[in-house]
Amino acid sequence: MRFTLCLSLLLSLSAVRAVDHDVVIYGGTCAAVTAAVQAKKMGKSVIIVSPDKHLGGLSSGGLGFTDTGNKATIGGLAREFYHRIYLHYQKPESWKQQKQSEYGNKGQGTPAMDGENRTMWIFEPHAAEQVFEDFIKEHGIEVVRDEWLDRAKGVEKSGERIFSITTLSGKTYAGKMFIDATYEGDLMAAAGVDYHVGREANSVYGEEHNGVQVGVLHHRHHFGAVKEKISPYKVPGDPKSGVLPRVSAEDPGKFGEGDKKVQAYCFRSCYTNVPENRIPFPKPDGYDAGQYEILLRVLNTGWGEFFEKFDPIPNHKTDTNNHGPFSFDNIGMNYDYPEASYERRKEIIAEHRTYQQGLLWFVANDPRVPKKVQAELREWGLPKDEFTDNGNWSHQLYIREARRMIGHFVMTENELRKKKPTPDSVGMGSYTIDSHNTQRYITPEGYVQNEGDIGVSTNGPYEIAYGSLVPKKGQGSNLLVPVAMSASHIAYGSIRMEPVFMILGQSAATAAAMALDEKVPVQDVPYSELRQRLLDDGQVLHYSGPKSAKGVDMKSLKGIVLDDSQAKQTGHWTESGAAKKFIGDGYAHDGNANKGGMTLTFATALPKPGKYEVRLAYAPNNNRATNVPVTVKHAAGEAKVTVNQRKPAPEEDLFLSLGSFKFGSEANVTISNAGTDGYVVVDGIQIIAE
């Protein structure tokens, strides 16, 4: 008995003596860096234990065409990062393959270079990595690299408190506070904190867009965007010939059900078309042209969007993302990644690299590929001056989603869309709720289709709860999780943007430092004090300005303008904000489904009887319906108008005139999806007195 007590006391004293740092951060993402900088600024000793050799995660791994959303919500160290990127590109020597004046300055909803705010949102991978390394050097932050958590027995914990973590090399890092800044949530999981992998059923949190999305087709990443239906079989139309690679023969599930499947990953790869800086796309080991038969069939329909997401970054380079029904997303090949062993994860990453490099080799070299597409791709290659220690290929797979903590508070689409209030804001997001495809399956009619792609407007910026960064009480009193944070699948689809991770990393470190000072569990940090410190450090916690940089204020438009949100709905219309311009916060579309079962009706009083022009607002695209039926009720009866929504809206790039009509005291306009041959989109109506 005495021996047991002595041993217990010795172990306890050993643990106390082993506390080497106030804050131990596990991970090498952008959130790890901002968390470390903030902890150091608050006078705490800090160490980053990184499994990665390169810091910055996706921000330095190829995602240079930043998913900003509303940039006014990005403050603190995140904005400092983009300010430093701006300063980098103010130097003439930073423009080696291109003059600054020649750069197009295109960004996502914002200019790439914002001179007024001295920020830059578009950048090369090496430039981002240098900024992160500068942060580390300037603040004297200790970093150990290529150190991998022993996930089986590497977390020493007493009750709900973590004392130390040990890596596979046998090194132990003890601390008073811990931050899991990995995409995978490995420390969180090893510490016994609750988490979820996959999609929750809509019923779990009372959501609309979680779970299986069979029948829902957003964006352009599905086979409805192709002129012809594509057979999934080796011999087109013959199921007995076998199913082609990259297509699942399993039942995709029912709409709204939960599953354990994960949205697709890819590399955000960097290409260049500057000959002196260009390396031809390599033919990967294990290349198999048969893997790309579906892509060949898509290209041979005349589909012409292969280069749609070769987004320009400085010096004639790209941040290249997935686009279309068969592209760089490796759909269905990552389901086991979140929980997989390190060895299995390496296999998955290698398979993704082989798939993506093989796709490039196939398009650039296979004689069956349309010559125009092939010739254009041959102008591109890998840049010699990026990822120089990894074969000029990104060192970071885009882990769009892995584990997600089930924490003290769970963020859902209801908070993002402002259907429910968000408590205790520690940062903001604003990007569209965005999930990439999860599976590629065979429809009952015998054609191939993708499932899981979602693009839903958040109706402006939203707040992120402090409770979503901390475990439930009793599971981790000194652990914060800013990346694999607590959110449903569909809410995480917006929160998962790199600027938001930087924001949440800073907020998590602030809370960790305050919990140390107050000697309280992280769940009990006084929010009023946390809020004030975050505001003092430049974080944006609340927002009351314009909801979207792309949204047009209705008050700026002449006449009577009604937004789609003011219409009476029949059927389930989906909100979106993916178009380049729209009224208010977004627009409605029918999901190209339930034809004949959906209408939107606008009814409004008029200031006086008379003649008025009626206009319909919609966001044109080549996947829209060419035959949208619109009914205008006026003083003399009804007028039937058919609208081709593939054609541009000529009035202010928003509206198409439906004609002029005499009205009494009110006007009534109904848009239907009956018999339509594509997506029906409704942004609003405008009524102008003549």
Please report whether residue 581 resides in a domain.
yes
User: What pLDDT was estimated at residue 651?
Assistant: 87
Q: Is residue 645 part of a domain?
A: yes
Domain assignment present for 242 = no
Contact present, 176 and 478 (Cβ < 8 Å): yes
**Which residues are CB-contacts of 544 (< 8 A; sequence separation ≥ 6)?**
none
Q: Where are the beta strands (DSSP E) in 237-316?
A: 238-243, 278-279, 310-313
Confirm whether 348 is domain-assigned: no
Token digits for 451? 């499932």
Q: How many domains does the chain have?
A: 1
Question: What phi and psi values does residue 518 have, to the nearest 5 degrees?
Answer: -85, -10
Angle at the Cα of 56 (from 542 to 128), degrees rounded to 5? 90
Closest CA to 403 of 156, 191, 170: 191
Domain-embedded: residue 517: no
- Written as one letter, the residue type at 129 is E
Check if the beta carbon of residue 59 is closer than 8 Å to that of residue 498.
yes
Please give the Cα distance from 454 to 219 (Å, whole number): 7
* Residue 274 neighbours by CB under 8 Å, 6+ apart: 97, 315, 316, 383
Q: Give me the CATH number covering residue 592.
A: 2.60.120.260
Tell me, what's the pLDDT at 550? 65
Residue 633 located in a structural domain? yes
- Compute the distance between CA of residue 498 and CA of residue 484 in angstroms, rounded to an integer: 12
Residues (pLDDT < 70) of the chain are 1-19, 109, 546-550
Q: Nearest to residue 508, comparing CAs of 6, 130, 38? A: 38
Q: Is residue 69 part of a domain?
A: no
Q: What pLDDT does residue 565 have?
A: 85
End-to-end CA distance of the chain: 97
Assess if residue 235 is contained within a domain. Answer: no
Q: What is the pLDDT of residue 6?
A: 43
Closest by Cα among 15, 18, 20, 42 to 142: 20
- Rounded to an integer, what distance in angstroms lies between the CA atom of residue 507 and that of residue 123? 25
The runs of H, that is alpha helices, within 325-470 are 342-365, 371-377, 413-416
pLDDT score of 10: 40
Give the chain's radius of gyration (CA, Å): 26
pTM: 0.85
Q: Strand ranges (DSSP E) for 410-546?
A: 425-429, 433-435, 439-442, 448-451, 454-456, 462-465, 479-480
| Cβ–Cβ < 8 Å for 243, 233 | yes
Closest to 608 in 3D by CA, of 569, 666, 687: 666
CA pair distance 34, 420, nearest whole angstrom? 29
One-character DSSP codes across 540-601: -----S-S-SSEEPGGGSSSEEEEGGGSEEES-PEEE--SS-EETT-EEE-TT-STTS-EEE
Burial class (CB in 10 A: 0-12, 13-18, 19+), 251: exposed
30: three-class secondary structure by DSSP: helix
**Residue 659 sits in which domain range?**
551-689
* pLDDT given at position 593: 80
Q: CA dihedral defined by 231, 232, 236, 239, rounded to 10 degrees?
A: -120
> Which uninterrupted H or E stretch holds 225?
none
